[in-house]
Amino acid sequence: MKLSRNEAIQNLKDDTLWDVAIIGGGATGLGVAVDAASRGYKTILVEKYDFAKGTSSKSTKLVHGGVRYLANGDIKLVLGALHERGLLFKNAPHVSSTQSFVIPSYSFFNKMKFLIGLKLYDWMAGKLHIGKSVLLSKDEVVQKLPKINTTNLQGGVLYFDGQFDDARLAVNLAQTAASYGATIINYAEVNSIHKDLNGKVIGLSFIDRETNTAHRVKAKAVVNATGIFVDDILKLDTATHKNLVRPSQGAHIVVDKKFLGGRDALMIPETSDGRVLFGVPWHEHVLLGTTDTPINEHQIEPRPLEEEIEFILKTANQYLENAPTRADVKSIYAGLRPLAAPKDGDSNSTKEISRDHKLIKSDSNLITITGGKWTTYRKMGEDTVNMVAKVGNLPEVACKTKHLEIHGYTTEKTNTHWQVYGSDAIEIKKLIASDASLGQKIHPGFENVIAEIVWSCQNEMALHVEDFLSRRTRMLLLDAQAAKESAPLVAKVMAQTLGKDQAWIDHELSEFETLVKNYTL
């Protein structure tokens, strides 16, 4: 499915009445769009930035039930998430896979405690379970995690969870929604909510940030799915609105894969701040994270705090031999979780707040979906569209997404960078077959080639250098310096493909150079 922004803009007719207008193109909004469009509802989605620009491309890349939530007794959330994990594996196998995790244990009591908990975790997955948790001897732990600190090591536990490419899945969800007739537009900033004489929402207005053109959208229902920005939209609805969300920052650092030394991931269940810390192999690198830091302000490009970076490195040093230092960090990134704002008590405690989603209907009938996590995006979409149907008086249609194949679907697995494109990989390779120069590597340290730039512009609505280097490929998150070195070539090819001039190239490179500073120490 080709994502064409020009065609999407042409779909904006003044007399069109949409069944649902969705604000927000992250995991939640895109999930709502897929659900609504697949039910046959006339759907439009607008996103202020690029798809998954915010939190949805800054995750720990795990599709999981949440071992930590099980420890907190949040059985309902874990059961639901494990079910959704299984559905995601079936619906989007090209961007998701099983990942083995090892919990090293330095006491016999902890080893047995973790095994019992993870056996329960396995059992809760039911028919959608993906592996069996087992005890490991000390030697087996070292075999799987060659770089683990062996001082007082008693053995460990092996368990299985899921991994995925968050931004690639987001693009595929946009393509899926479009294939069912949805109109999907990035770089479209909502600036007002429209109401009828009874104060009920009947649409919205947005500015096309690529052309600075204003557009008005009439809709039977409007969904606010803007993550950490839900309060900004709610204030357009009600000027006196008090914030629902208190952001919590999760920071990550990315290092060379040699620091783990194998294919298994490391899970540290009890860090000094009470969080779980992961060391996860991902795209030939290793992600270390995440933190849990309450933040008073929300922003689209948060930067990991100095104390977060030190915490991750210090914790890694406790568990790994020859642990990474600041000099080994290839990239840093942070995402903001939209958590419920505390009403009383400890305003700085976020780790006890449930990650379950919340669905709210304002007096004006504006529907807001907040909270949740990537793993449960599909269920969040289903619940939201059920409410949309009632608010918009739409014909009742059953949810279709439980067994809906996501764009790119293929069960074939390749141990190459082409894997995340799924069935689209064949089409990109056809471009190279027609023009051998498109097979040139973008950067010597990565397998990505020029054909991918052309493809992302023509089929995935990539409009800026950042879109390609951060989300269509993941180079910025994997190696910020390599991304900076790749930017001139990417800008040149994008300009040729999109019909842009030298001034556009110069502006893009300046903007990207500023952005890269956020991802480097």
pLDDT attached to residue 6: 95
Dist. CA 153–CA 517, nearest whole Å: 39
Q: Which of 454, 448, 467 is nearest to 498 (CA)?
A: 454
pLDDT tens per residue across span 130-182: 999 999 999 999 999 999 999 999 999 999 999 999 999 999 999 999 999 99
pLDDT tens per residue across span 345-401: 444 444 444 567 899 999 999 999 998 899 999 999 999 999 999 999 999 999 999
Residue with token string 């697995």: 413
Q: Give me the DSSP letters along 145-189.
A: -TTB--TT--EEEEEEEEEE-HHHHHHHHHHHHHHTT-EEESSEE
Contact by Cβ (8 Å): 449, 426: no
- Weakest mean pLDDT among 51-65, 110-124, 189-203, 263-277: 263-277
CA atoms within 13 A on the CB side of 61: 30
pLDDT attached to residue 120: 94
Dist. CA 521–CA 505, nearest whole Å: 26
Residue 72 predicted with pLDDT over 90? no
- Helix-, strand-, coil-residue percentages of the chain, each rounded to 5: 40, 25, 35
In the predicted model, what is the mean pLDDT of residues 340-345? 58
pLDDT attached to residue 355: 63
pLDDT attached to residue 273: 73
pLDDT tens per residue across span 15-28: 999 999 999 999 99
pLDDT band at 281 (very low <50, low <70, confident <90, very high): very high
- Weakest mean pLDDT among 67-76, 205-214, 387-396, 458-467: 67-76
**What value, to the nearest 5°, has the Cα angle with vertex 334 and ends 328 and 335?**
155
Q: Which of 460, 456, 424 is nearest to 442 (CA)?
A: 456
Contact by Cβ (8 Å): 476, 466: yes
Share of the chain above pLDDT 70, in %: 97
Which phi and psi (to 5°) does residue 453 adopt?
-65, -50
pLDDT attached to residue 352: 42
pLDDT attached to residue 192: 98
Q: At residue 219, what is the residue type?
A: A
Which phi and psi (to 5°) does residue 64 adopt?
-150, 160
pLDDT attached to residue 277: 93
Dist. CA 216–CA 7, nearest whole Å: 17
Strand ranges (E), 302-405: 331-340, 357-361, 367-371
**What residues form DSSP beta bridges with 203?**
194, 218
Query: Could you tell me the CA-to-CA distances from 407 to 6, 172, 180 in Å, in that order?
Result: 20, 5, 11
